[in-house]
A and B are shown apart, each in its own frame.
Chain A
């Protein structure tokens, strides 16, 4: 059951401060409405994982790890590998996170990140087949939220994408339905690079990459994930507020434009 969230931990006066600033076109950290916080991406920091990426988006910190294993394919896609995206909101990341199974926010985040990667066909699952109907590679992407200062979806999706781009596996060939590994190290077969942009609506104004304080006062958020061809591959509105059709269209246009810069940043790390 989905339940109304508890009261905001922020006093009305503090909320007002955020709103007033935004009405003047400024934000808490002197950003302009369409600016992201400073972002850093570090790849390959967990050697035991096949791939990993850590994203700092302002003070938000998310770590994603990729593990590749062998398993059986789904019956309706016998020639394709399997992609699974999971997310953990670990208690150390925020006073509001409790230990236990993923709550609806964690599940929503994992599914939105998954949709971006899956719908853009970022990972070429067909190249991950070993023995059709019997054996395929399974790619697990686990997103770990380490510090929650807002906009977890964008940070998580970028970390997931970074981890996939960073991931390495041994080259292989298939002999008699078995995997024979070669010495060469190859990356995962990537075809696309989906990038999400999340905007928040605060008292009628739209701001990108909301920080935690902005999320606490926003009426709702809209995440738009675009691929390298400017195609929209996933969208998710979240929160209790509303958006007019015009606001939605405006946010979509801005998101498509902004995603290009972020995609370049991630790809430049790989080289």
Chain B
């Protein structure tokens, strides 16, 4: 049963339901390389979102006929666990999951240097374990880390963050209740070094000026998230200088 009580999304002090200011990100935690079998993996907690991303590849193309002659095929699956949302969601892929799988693949594939692996595949799996709005953006953030963790060459990392409008005000990083009761949702994926947007969707109602504000808010937030991604990689791969000297010589194998 839906809660009929009227919720004030922004209180008298300009604070949101979870105490955030209009331009404030939810708390974010990232960890790289947490799965054993996947070639690359990452886990992200973004607000109450809990999302796992894993990458297998480059690996042999199965079935063979999907392979491309000049670069790797990139496959992406965005999927939500049945227990990830308030009302149990059927495990079968929904139309929404199919659409998101597509737009997420389109946001990551351009960053992958897939021309290095002709006739192979690179598979990206995003599993939403707990959802609280902004899952595709957080999924992209985690998937970028998983790709880097797998050692797949990329032009740069991709960071994702949504903005929106609630009670007439443009705000950053909607939570679930804000997405459900708000007036607009604008998910964005951004590559800060190249200053380009690779995912952009919107639903709701925004004037042109509100849209510009929301876009700037989300790209700025993506820059912050990008720094967190870099830090997460550094944490995982902190390497002592001494050890690296041993890597210099590739010894001959005695057959």
User: What residues make up the interface of A, taking CB atoms closer than 8 Å to B?
Assistant: 1-4, 6-7, 75-76, 102, 104-105, 107-108, 110-111, 115, 118-120, 220, 222, 227, 230-245, 248-249, 252-253, 256
> Contact: A104 with B197, CB < 8 Å?
no
The distance from the CB of A240 to the nearest CB of chain B, in whole angstroms, is: 5
Bound CA–CA A222/B201 (angstroms):
9
The one of A6, A230, A235, A241 that contacts B202, using a Cβ cutoff of 8 Å: A235
Residues of A within 8 A of B195 (CB): 244-245
Q: Is B230 an interface residue (CB 8 A)?
A: no
Bound CA–CA A241/B106 (angstroms):
8
| 8 Å CB interface, B166-224 against A | 186, 191, 194-208, 211-212, 215-216, 219
Q: Is B103 an interface residue (CB 8 A)?
A: yes
10 CB-based A-B contacts, threshold 8 Å: A2-B77, A3-B73, A118-B203, A222-B200, A233-B205, A234-B203, A242-B197, A243-B197, A249-B212, A253-B208
Tell me which of B20-28, B94-102, B132-140, B142-150 binds A.
B94-102
> Contact: B101 with A248, CB < 8 Å?
no
Known: A1-B75, A104-B98, A111-B95. A75 touches B2 (CB 8 A): yes
> Contact: A233 with B73, CB < 8 Å?
no
The one of B2, B114, B196, B208 that contacts A230, using a Cβ cutoff of 8 Å: B208
> Taking CB as reference atom, which chain A residue is nearest B4?
A76
Q: Is B34 an interface residue (CB 8 A)?
A: no
> Taking CB as reference atom, which chain A residue is nearest B2?
A76
> Contact: A1 with B205, CB < 8 Å?
no
Q: Is B163 an interface residue (CB 8 A)?
A: no
> Contact: A249 with B95, CB < 8 Å?
no
Known: A4-B73, A240-B110. A245 touches B215 (CB 8 A): yes
Residues of A within 8 A of B186 (CB): 235
> Contact: B201 with A237, CB < 8 Å?
yes
Residues of B within 8 A of A248 (CB): 197, 200, 215
> Contact: B77 with A1, CB < 8 Å?
yes
Bound CA–CA A230/B110 (angstroms):
32
Bound CA–CA A118/B1 (angstroms):
23
The one of A111, A236, A237 that contacts B197, using a Cβ cutoff of 8 Å: A237
The distance from the CB of A26 to the nearest CB of chain B, in whole angstroms, is: 26
> Contact: B109 with A107, CB < 8 Å?
no
Residues of B within 8 A of A237 (CB): 103, 106, 197-201
> Taking CB as reference atom, which chain B residue is nearest A219?
B110
Given contacts A235-B186, A256-B208, list 19 more A-B pairs with CB under 8 A.
A1-B77, A2-B105, A4-B72, A4-B73, A4-B75, A76-B2, A107-B98, A118-B203, A230-B207, A232-B206, A233-B205, A235-B202, A237-B103, A237-B197, A238-B103, A242-B196, A245-B215, A248-B200, A249-B212
Bound CA–CA A6/B114 (angstroms):
14
Residues of A within 8 A of B203 (CB): 115, 118-119, 233-235
The distance from the CB of B38 to the nearest CB of chain A, in whole angstroms, is: 16
> Contact: A4 with B68, CB < 8 Å?
yes
Nearest first, the 9 A-B pairs at minimum CB distance are: A242-B196, A235-B202, A237-B200, A2-B101, A104-B102, A76-B2, A2-B105, A2-B102, A1-B77
Bound CA–CA A102/B102 (angstroms):
13
The distance from the CB of B150 to the nearest CB of chain A, in whole angstroms, is: 17
Residues of A within 8 A of B198 (CB): 237, 242
The distance from the CB of A202 to the nearest CB of chain B, in whole angstroms, is: 15
Residues of A within 8 A of B109 (CB): 4, 240
Residues of A within 8 A of B102 (CB): 2, 104-105, 107-108
Residues of A within 8 A of B123 (CB): 1
Residues of A within 8 A of B103 (CB): 108, 236-238
Known: A1-B75, A245-B195. A6 touches B215 (CB 8 A): no
> Taking CB as reference atom, which chain B residue is nearest A110?
B95
> Contact: B99 with A239, CB < 8 Å?
no
Q: Taking each of A110, A119, A249, which has the highest tally of chain B beta carbons within 10 Å of its own beta carbon?
A: A119
The one of B69, B105, B201 that contacts A236, using a Cβ cutoff of 8 Å: B201
Q: Taking each of A2, A234, A249, A252, which has the highest tally of chain B beta carbons within 10 Å of its own beta carbon?
A: A2
Q: Is B54 an interface residue (CB 8 A)?
A: no
> Contact: A238 with B99, CB < 8 Å?
no
Residues of A within 8 A of B10 (CB): none
Residues of B within 8 A of A115 (CB): 203
